[in-house]
Amino acid sequence: MDENIAPQLEDLTRALGDLEKTGIRAEFDKLLAFRVPPEIAKESILRKFGGKRKVLKVKDLSASLKNFEITGRILDIGEKAIRPREGAPDGPSRLYLGVLADETGSVMFSSWKELPGSGGDVINVKNAYTRLWQNRIRLSIGEQSLVSKVSDSLLPQLSELSISPAKKLIDIGAADFSVGTVACVLQLSHREVLIRGKQSKVISGVFADETGRLPFSAWVELPGIDIGSIIRIEGAQSRMFRGMPSINILSSTKVSSIGSEDAESLAFTFESAAKDPVPLKIEEIDSRDSMFDIAAAGNVVSVRPGSGIISRCPECSRVVQKSNCRAHGKVEGIRDMRIKAILDDGTGAMSVMFPRELAEIIYGKTLEEAEQLMFSDISKDAVYEDLRRILTGRYLAVRGNASKGEYGISFVAESAWVPEDDLTVRAVELLHRLGQDEEEPGSEVSRGGMSLA
């Protein structure tokens, strides 16, 4: 071994373990081949593989996380032979698939390297990452991840972790593989769908408890279950659709009704869960990856470009740019209208999308009237500028679904209205924030002359 690089390799081995097995030695040699000095190459490797990383639990996992550490017990593991693509360079020929669990939940994982443990063992994974696979969060263990078998006493036993954890609806997220919950049925419908050329029956609806609501689907019959039923679910799957978790009931899922006596001890009833959601602060919405069927209120501080009259593809409903659809090429678009606005309540801001039905209501003009304005003004921006003039500063309440991405919160509104019963409350809160007393003599609030709408 070159005596110039031996000290660096010793440092790397102490920090990162076996360099050959993890592929880190190859990374180090690659940097040397590009004439990077050994000391600088070592520092670069340490930053990449041994730098400060977050230690996460299963409940903390979300899409596109990188360089984190996690400890879990292997609930299940199998391997799959991978056939290399013709002409592709040699690579891993086996993929290891399974389920990893800790006291907060369980998650599917995939590994391109053989793991040091088997079913029931506890492993620690450094430099792990996550990705979306079939709309589910998957823990990924790459060639350069560091995996070690650790003490069995760090986590609950296999028998305990194998039981689906009972969770409140608001705590069910993208990383959950198998979940259980107690909830009431708010909505229920039956329909038939075509799957692989065969008609299949599916039941869909909405569950609710005192913490929130989630959509569900069932591919099996639910005898005795109807709107208003309070049920216990064990061994259901959590699936992701458009950034929103949903509960998937399979043939292996256990579903049972909650009796009236047991229901009395619950923190919710059907009547309380069915009430319209109370508007949340935007900072609370921002604290979660997604929220289903919630309400919020704030001022429109901006109407974004892309609002107004648009054209959609008749095949897939994508927005058409210059008569071209990304999926279907040259098409004759169908006229539509939408509003993309930024709503701010003082605690945070979020992007809100209003489809045509709501856009017409809050704008005060139909699509046809907006088209007349565009044609009369001979400007494609006439409707957009009119929307900015009318909506900027307005106070609105919205109800719909929220998901958080790279650019913040995206909220798709399903209903919208102008709140009227909280004007005085908002005025008082504003004066408090300004350091005034709402009871001060001569206050505009006490005379009813202040308007923030």
pLDDT reading at 88 higher than 70: no
Asked if 329 and 424 count as a contact pair (C-beta separation under 8 A), the reply is no
Helices (H), 97-145: none
Half-sphere exposure of 19 (CA within 13 A, CB side): 18
Q: For 48, phi and psi rounded to 5 degrees?
A: -75, -40
Determine the angle formed by the axes of helices 382-391 and 367-377, rounding to 10 degrees: 120
> Computed from CA positions of residues 217, 222, 226, 230, in that sequence, does the dihedral angle turn out positive or negative?
negative
Tell me how far apart the alpha carbons of residues 89 and 94 are, in angstroms, rounded to a whole number. Answer: 15
Residue whose entry in the numeric block shows the structure tokens 């704030």: 298
* Model pLDDT, residue 444: 45
pLDDT reading at 1 higher than 60: no
128: left (phi over 0), alpha (psi -120 to 50) or beta: beta
pLDDT reading at 233 higher than 90: yes
Q: Which fold has domain 54-161?
A: OB fold (Dihydrolipoamide Acetyltransferase, E2P) (2.40.50)
Q: If you average pLDDT over every residue of the chain, what do you get? A: 85
Nearest partner of 108 among 214, 238, 216, 218, judged by Cα: 238
Q: What is the enclosing helix (H) or strand (E) of 340?
A: strand 334-344
Non-local (6+) Cβ contacts of 283 within 8 A are 347, 348
| CATH class held by domain 282-417 | mainly beta
pLDDT reading at 377 higher than 70: yes
* Model pLDDT, residue 40: 85
Tell me how far apart the alpha carbons of residues 294 and 170 are, in angstroms, rounded to a whole number. Answer: 11
Nearest partner of 49 among 28, 80, 73, judged by Cα: 28
β-bridge partners, 324: 321, 330
Q: Which fold has domain 169-273?
A: OB fold (Dihydrolipoamide Acetyltransferase, E2P) (2.40.50)
Residues 242-290 pLDDT 10s: 778 899 998 888 999 998 888 999 999 999 999 999 999 999 999 888 8
- Which pTM was predicted? 0.68
Q: Do domains 54-161 and 282-417 have the same CATH topology?
A: yes
> Computed from CA positions of residues 342, 422, 296, 203, in that sequence, does the dihedral angle turn out positive or negative?
negative
Tell me how far apart the alpha carbons of residues 453 and 447 are, in angstroms, rounded to a whole number. Answer: 17
Tell me how far apart the alpha carbons of residues 180 and 254 are, in angstroms, rounded to a whole number. Answer: 9
Q: How far apart are the first and last CA of the chain?
A: 76
Q: Provide the residue ranges of all domains of the chain, joining segments of one domain with +.
A: 6-49, 54-161, 169-273, 282-417
Tell me how far apart the alpha carbons of residues 15 and 416 are, in angstroms, rounded to a whole number. Answer: 56
Pairing of β 68-81 and β 105-111: unpaired
Residue whose entry in the numeric block shows the structure tokens 């919405």: 285
Q: For 247, phi and psi rounded to 5 degrees?
A: -100, 125
Asked if 138 and 130 count as a contact pair (C-beta separation under 8 A), the reply is yes
Tell me how far apart the alpha carbons of residues 8 and 30 are, in angstroms, rounded to a whole number. Answer: 14
For residue 171 the two structure tokens come to: 């705590």
pLDDT reading at 210 higher than 80: yes
Letter string b/e over residues 151-172, b meaning 16 or more CB atoms within 10 A of that residue's CB: eeeebeebeebbebbebebebb
Per DSSP, 35 falls in state: T
* Model pLDDT, residue 445: 40
For residue 204 the two structure tokens come to: 């869909």
pLDDT reading at 369 higher than 80: yes
For residue 380 the two structure tokens come to: 């494609």
Across 71-99, average pLDDT: 77
Asked if 424 and 432 count as a contact pair (C-beta separation under 8 A), the reply is no
Helix count and strand count (H, E) for the chain: 12, 21
β-bridge partners, 122: 73
Q: What is the enclosing helix (H) or strand (E) of 48?
A: helix 38-49
Non-local (6+) Cβ contacts of 59 within 8 A are 104, 105, 171, 173, 175
Residue whose entry in the numeric block shows the structure tokens 């979660």: 288
pLDDT reading at 316 higher than 80: yes
Tell me how far apart the alpha carbons of residues 257 and 21 are, in angstroms, rounded to a whole number. Answer: 52
Tell me how far apart the alpha carbons of residues 16 and 433 are, in angstroms, rounded to a whole number. Answer: 52
Q: CA distances (Å), 257 to each of 224, 383, 417, in order?
A: 8, 53, 37
What percentage of the chain has pLDDT greater than the value 90? 43
Residues 415-438 pLDDT 10s: 999 887 666 666 777 677 677 554
Residues 329-354 pLDDT 10s: 899 889 999 999 999 999 999 999 99
Across 213-226, average pLDDT: 92
